[in-house]
Amino acid sequence: MTDTLEFHRCLPLGAEAHPLQRWEEAPCFSGFSPLPKPLVCTILQYMKVIAQIKLIPTPEQHEALTRTMEQANAACDYISQVAWETRTFKKYDLQKLVYQKVRDQFDLSAQLTVRMLAKVGDAYKLDTRTLRTFKPHGAIAYDDRILSYQLSQGTVNIWTLEGRQRIPFVCGERQRELLQFRQGESDLVLVKNTFYLLVVCDIEEPGSAEIEGILGVDLGIANIASDSDGEHYSGEQVEQTHQRFHDLRQRLQRCGSKSAKRHLKKLRKRQARFQKDTNHRISKTLVAKAKDTNRGIALEDLTDIRERTRLRKTQRARHSNWAFAQLRQFISYKAALAGVPVFIVGAAYTSQRCSVCGHTERGNRPTQNHFCCLSCGHTTSADTNAAINISRAAVSPPTVSEAALPSRQGQAHAL
């Protein structure tokens, strides 16, 4: 009995099939054995996620890591100076020019030297008109040649100027799961005298399942988010925290003493961390709701919203504190990991259009919180009405002709 081999080719969507060439019809290729089963091609999509782990070095190991970081960044300054003087900005050209000098002068390993050359080359990709300098405690990249993980023991083996060091680390259960999918480089960073490793992990994205509806989400300031089911996620606590830190910073800056400056340093980024945590919790809740109800998520496109709106002076600080782009980013990546599709729709007139009859008029929204249609009399929360319009726009665009609507130029967007 003779076995028959089947060959399946993967074509791009929309590509036309053409007759197989002679080399394509061959049962096997040079250097390869025939496959006993049909060849099936599958395209997998991966998302890069960062797992942060905290290193617990001894005082001697901490000193070794600090010296290594300072020496590596000093090497970057030297490489950058040579690149600037010789106008040589590509990584491979720089490697031919200064590789051996860097190794001899800074006592770095071969692989760490290559990583520092890549760091300088990447810095000049953005702009070659400015001399690049590097902070002594700036992050440095490690790869598998100079960094290894012992996950079962909870340690890492990392290269330093004092030789390889085995250092314990701690992380959460979620981070430990992500480390199983570690891929590529890890960045060593120093934050408030504590060392962390930022590990790149490739997570396979599940395919998007068939959905039965759309969960519309309206983003705002008074309510950070409102969904089309009528649930609101208030921004009152975020605003209170922002105002409290703002007033405290002003008082400390007016004082100007050494104690006040130390206090200001401790306050640095505390509000940003609180707001980031709030956005994480809201995005997690919205994605979980969409997944449990087998729905996609629709968000409005707020690109350049700060340039397109006019505000009173008293509203500017609050508007600038609005982290809608961060919330949209969190929703997008959490939804991708959960297999929930995300749709981005235009934000034009979603707050003015009636979700019942479609009548669009600025007067439909007499106050920030209240919506009352002047045509059919429908009354509801303004944010809920907008979220419903957003969910419907993801399925089909609004039927109201926007050419007949008043121009948006010079109008302030009601938030």
Order of strands, edge to edge, in the sheet holding 214-219? Answer: 232-234, 223-227, 214-219, 296-301, 342-346
Q: How many whole angstroms separate alpha carbon 390 and alpha carbon 366?
A: 20
Q: What is the pLDDT of residue 197?
A: 96
Same domain, 191 and 223: no
Q: What is the pLDDT of residue 39?
A: 40
Would residue 66 count as lying in a domain? yes
Would residue 196 count as lying in a domain? yes
Choosing from 177, 203, 229, the residue where a domain stops is 203
Same domain, 241 and 314: yes
Would residue 227 count as lying in a domain? yes
Exposed, middle or buried, 358 (CB in 10 Å: 0-12/13-18/19+)?
middle
Would residue 38 count as lying in a domain? no
φ and ψ of 405, to 5 deg: -80, 155
Choosing from 142, 174, 203, the residue where a domain stops is 203
Q: How many whole angstroms separate alpha carbon 62 and alpha carbon 168?
A: 12
Contact indicator for 318, 246 with CB cutoff of 8 Å? no
Same domain, 184 and 221: no
Structure tokens at 140: 């440095």
Structure tokens at 11: 């074509």
Q: What is the pLDDT of residue 76?
A: 95
Same domain, 150 and 106: yes
Contact indicator for 224, 234 with CB cutoff of 8 Å? yes
Same domain, 240 and 196: no
Same domain, 195 and 241: no
| E-state strands within 260-393 | 296-301, 342-346, 370-372, 379-381
Would residue 43 count as lying in a domain? no
H-state helical runs in 87-109: 91-106
Would residue 9 count as lying in a domain? no
Would residue 78 count as lying in a domain? yes
Q: What is the pLDDT of residue 14?
A: 41
Q: Supply the range of the domain harboring residue 102.
A: 50-203
Q: How many whole angstroms separate alpha carbon 290 and alpha carbon 395?
A: 15
Q: What is the pLDDT of residue 134?
A: 95
Same domain, 156 and 222: no
Residue by residue, DSSP assigns 107-169 as: ---HHHHHHHHHHHHHHHHH-SSS-----TT--EEE-TTTEEEETTTTEEEEEETTEEEEEEE
Same domain, 237 and 111: no
| C-alpha dihedral (238, 242, 248, 250), degrees to nearest 10 | -170
Q: What is the pLDDT of residue 43?
A: 45
Same domain, 95 and 193: yes
Choosing from 174, 203, 232, the residue where a domain stops is 203
Q: What is the pLDDT of residue 140?
A: 95
Q: What is the pLDDT of residue 337?
A: 87
Same domain, 237 and 95: no
* Counted domains in the chain: 2
Q: What is the 3-state secondary structure (H, E, C) of 223-260?
A: EEEEECCCCEEECHHHHHHHHHHHHHHHHHHHHCCHHH
- CATH assignment of the domain containing 364: 3.30.420
Same domain, 295 and 167: no
Identify the CA nearest to 391 among candidates 287, 286, 291, 300: 300
pLDDT in tens, the chain (415 residues): 444 333 344 444 444 444 444 433 444 433 434 434 444 444 446 788 899 999 999 999 999 999 999 999 999 999 999 999 999 999 899 999 999 999 999 999 999 999 999 999 999 998 899 999 999 999 999 999 999 999 999 999 999 999 999 999 999 998 999 999 898 899 999 998 999 999 999 888 777 678 888 999 988 877 888 898 989 888 777 777 777 887 888 888 888 888 888 888 777 778 788 888 889 999 999 999 999 999 999 998 877 665 555 555 555 555 565 678 888 889 998 998 888 999 988 888 888 889 888 888 888 888 878 889 988 888 888 888 988 989 888 876 554 444 344 443 333 333 3
Would residue 360 count as lying in a domain? yes
Same domain, 149 and 234: no
Query: What is the model's pTM?
Result: 0.69
